[in-house]
Amino acid sequence: MRKIRTILASMVFIVLLIGSSAFNVSAQTISIDPESIEADHGESFTVDIKVDPEGAEIYGAQYVLYFDPNILNATSQTQGGFLSQGGANTFVFANIINNTLGKIEYGESRTGVEQGVNNPGVLASITFEVIGTSGTSHLKLSDVILSDQNGKEIPDVSIDHGSFSIKCEADDHTTPPQPQPIVNQIVAEEAHQMMGETPEDIILLDVRTEDEYDAEHIQMPGVLLIHIPLSELKSRLDELDRSKKIIVYSRNGADSVTACDVLVQHGFELVYNMLGGIEEWRTLNFPTTTLFTPTLTPTATPSITPTPSPTVVASTTASPTPASTPIPPGKRWGLPGFEVVFTIIGLLMVAYLISKGKGGDKNE
């Protein structure tokens, strides 16, 4: 009888271990604080990336933040105290600033402890310098992953984006800047949602080269996909329906900015720039398709298009990096999760319980 109780207890332990995160129904939140900021040209300001677990236990977190590099220059990204609560060690596995693309990446995990964090806190802080003279910059979070103590990604995380505006104080000696055409900045998740909800109202415009388009492009059911290379866009504007929402994408989001400017300057009103381009779309495992299967020639040397080198910013808080440190699952960085570690712990616990049960039988 004691053996049966021991086996049942072991089964319950494993079920709870595997399914503990599945019963979490609260909406975990990652947000930018403050949500809205104003500053003058030449000034600096700092925003915090905050996480509210809403009762869940958070063991690891990652995000990508997009901003307008024509208006802002990111000068630093520093580790916050969210994941180190309780005195735990942490491991920062991504801290990258790319001011050319207007893109910041961050990822961090707790180490050496089994419990996650269930109190709100600051995951990281980012300092910007205002380099523009007028306008508004998006502050958009994408590729957000919060993982629990079992290495499982927590679904349906609520994301609160932010924005920045340059102060404009007109006086007798200055003329207020004229309103600029509006380009709606959206992350890949928002573009995917828009095309899923009202595909008939949307044109998806690919402005990459023909070779890039043939190799791989985005395909969504019911959405009209039009490919016009950026170099040909001005001469082919009549191919676009001005009454539809036009979502523009390129490889990494750089050329799509230029394409969107061309569209609004020629009177298009419903223009959306997909930040991060197809690279971000692919990272999120959204659907793509190809027109051909490239044949690799062993002697051929592939042509590599140079891309701007991102600036890697070291965290201001030293983080130990033990060889056995588990890292939360990440779509972007391809790092291993905690599943194996916790499975081993579960099996050891089962073996321990069974051995205790056998010892108890001898005493009965």
Query: Residue 293 CB: number of other CB atoms within 10 A?
Result: 7
CB 78 within 8 A of CB 316: yes
What is the spatial distance between Cα 9 and Cα 163, in angstroms, rounded to a whole number? 51
Of the ranges 1-10, 161-170, 235-244, which is most confident? 235-244
Q: Mean pLDDT over residues 166-187, rounded? A: 69
Quick one: how many helices (H) and strands (E) in the chain? 6, 19
What is the spatial distance between Cα 9 and Cα 26, in angstroms, rounded to a whole number? 28
Q: What contacts 102, CB < 8 A, 6 or more positions away?
A: 66, 67, 68, 69, 72, 253
Q: What contacts 198, CB < 8 A, 6 or more positions away?
A: none
What is the DSSP code string of 191-230? HHHHHHH-GGGEEEEE-S-HHHHHH-EE--TT-EEEE--G
- pLDDT band for position 292 (cuts 50, 70, 90): low
What is the DSSP code string of 44-57? EEEEEEEEE-TT--
Is it the case that residue 158 has pLDDT exceeding 70?
yes
CB 110 within 8 A of CB 78: no
| Structural domains present in the chain | 24-169+309-358 (2.60.40.680), 181-283 (3.40.250.10)
Is it the case that residue 104 has pLDDT exceeding 90?
yes
Is it the case that residue 198 has pLDDT exceeding 70?
yes
Please give the angle made by the CA atoms of 102, 139 and 110, to the nearest 5 degrees.
90
pTM: 0.74
Enter the tokens of residue 236.
């082919």
Which region among 170-184, 234-248, 252-266, 306-320 has the lowest average model confidence (pLDDT)? 306-320
Residue with tokens 């299967």: 293
Residue 29's DSSP bridge partners are: 52, 158
Q: Mean pLDDT over residues 24-44, rounded? A: 89
- pLDDT band for position 3 (cuts 50, 70, 90): low
What is the spatial distance between Cα 199 and Cα 27, in angstroms, rounded to a whole number? 28
What is the DSSP code string of 153-188? BPSS-EEE-EEEEE-----TT--PPPPPPP-EEE-H
The alpha carbon of residue 135 and the mean position of all alpha carbons in its chain are separated, in whole angstroms, by: 25
What is the spatial distance between Cα 59 and Cα 109, in angstroms, rounded to a whole number? 6
What is the spatial distance between Cα 40 and Cα 131, in angstroms, rounded to a whole number? 9
